[in-house]
Amino acid sequence: SYELTQPPSVSVSPGQTASITCSGDKLGAKYAYWYLQKPGQSPVLVIYQDNQRPSGIPERFSGSNSGNTATLTISGTQAMDEADYYCQAWDSSTVVFGGGTKLTVL
Amino acid sequence: QVQLQESGPGLVKPSQTLSLTCTVSGASISSGVYYWSWIRQPAGKGLEWIGRIYSSGSINYNPSLKSRVTISVDTSKDQFSLKLSSVTAADTAVYYCARAVGGMRNNYYYYYMDVWGKGTTVTVSS
């Protein structure tokens, strides 16, 4: 079965750029998606089809996907961006999630 | 604005069947534009996709749960449902329903969940 791998944790200082990676075999040949989830809340879609932002998602969120790695980049990270982030792909008629990355804004 | 709300028992005994319903408001399941999915999340762990259904009745399940899962839709009530049989403590989780978008773009298939319910906690315990 297809697997997506994320680092368990990433730390960033306020105002700096945070990058969260998601690795999977030939992931660049699929679309990648990103969700953020704050404690006690439902996941929220922040990037779809590699680099598209849903309405209402701040411009500081961006995405890329090439080769075996998709990357979520948060520019000018704010304290409110502290959350768990999950990548997602579609493979063999199923949704696959990465294990999640806890972003800490120090 | 579309909203999804999960409902069902919060406590299920081991070996029994977990049954949940998701009620959709602000949109019609029978519109044929969206898919409707179930996802779960054990406490402190990551997301696990359970399966999806289309208004036509087309269904896909997570292979790891396929033998125990049934997803159905009632378009007359704008509801879709989840049944998970022979539950164990490992099925204890927050269960989310979600609206999903799927199709083809640039020769790639896309599928993602754009609207989620608030989730409901199901505990499997005697």
- List pLDDT tens digits, range B23-69: 999 989 988 789 999 999 999 999 999 999 998 889 999 999 999 99
Q: Which residues of B touch A1 (CB under 8 A)?
A: 63-64
Nearest to A43 among B61, B108, B116 (CB): B116
Please tell me the distance from the alpha carbon of residue A11 to that of residue B91, in angstroms, as a whole number. Answer: 32
Average pLDDT over chain B reads 95
Closest CA to B94 of B65, B116, B123, B71: B123
Q: What are B35's strand-pairing partners? A: B54, B100
Query: What's the gap in Å between the CA of A60 and the closest CA on chain B?
Result: 19
What pLDDT is stored for residue A90 in this prediction? 96
β pairing state of B120-124 and B59-61: unpaired
pLDDT above 90 (res B115): yes
pLDDT above 90 (res A98): yes
What pLDDT is stored for residue B108 in this prediction? 87
The full DSSP string for B95-107 is EEEEEEEEEEETT
In chain A, the percentage of residues whose pLDDT exceeds 70 is: 100
What is the largest distance, in Å, between two alpha-carbon atoms of chain B?
51
Judged by a CB distance cut-off of 8 A, whether residue B3 touches chain A is no
pLDDT above 90 (res B106): no
What pLDDT is stored for residue B122 in this prediction? 98
Taking the alpha carbons of B103, B106, B109, B114 in that order, is the dihedral positive or negative?
negative
Average pLDDT over chain A reads 97
What pLDDT is stored for residue B107 in this prediction? 87
pLDDT above 90 (res B15): yes
Q: Which two tokens stand for residue B119?
A: 């989730």
Q: Provide the 3-class DSSP secondary structure of residue A59.
A: coil
Q: How far apart are the first and last CA of chain A?
A: 36
pLDDT above 90 (res A24): yes
- Record: contact A95-B52, CB cut-off 8 A: yes
- Record: contact B37-A95, CB cut-off 8 A: yes
What pLDDT is stored for residue B32 in this prediction? 79
What pLDDT is stored for residue B105 in this prediction? 87
- List pLDDT tens digits, range A37-90: 999 999 999 999 999 999 999 999 999 999 999 999 999 999 999 999 999 999
**Where residue B16 falls among pLDDT bands split at 50, 70, 90?**
very high
Number of A/B CB contacts below 8 angstroms equals 63
Exposed e or buried b per residue across B87-115, where buried means at least 16 C-beta atoms within 10 angstroms of its C-beta: beeebbbbbbbbbbbbeeeeeeebbbbeb
- Record: contact B49-A100, CB cut-off 8 A: no
Nearest to A99 among B46, B62, B105 (CB): B46
Q: Provide the 3-class DSSP secondary structure of residue B40.
A: strand
Q: Which residues of B touch A43 (CB under 8 A)?
A: 47, 96, 113, 116
Instruction: Residue window 7-36, chain B: list those with CB within 8 Å of chain A.
Output: none
CA distances in angstroms from A10 to A3, A105, B46, listed in the order given: 20, 9, 16
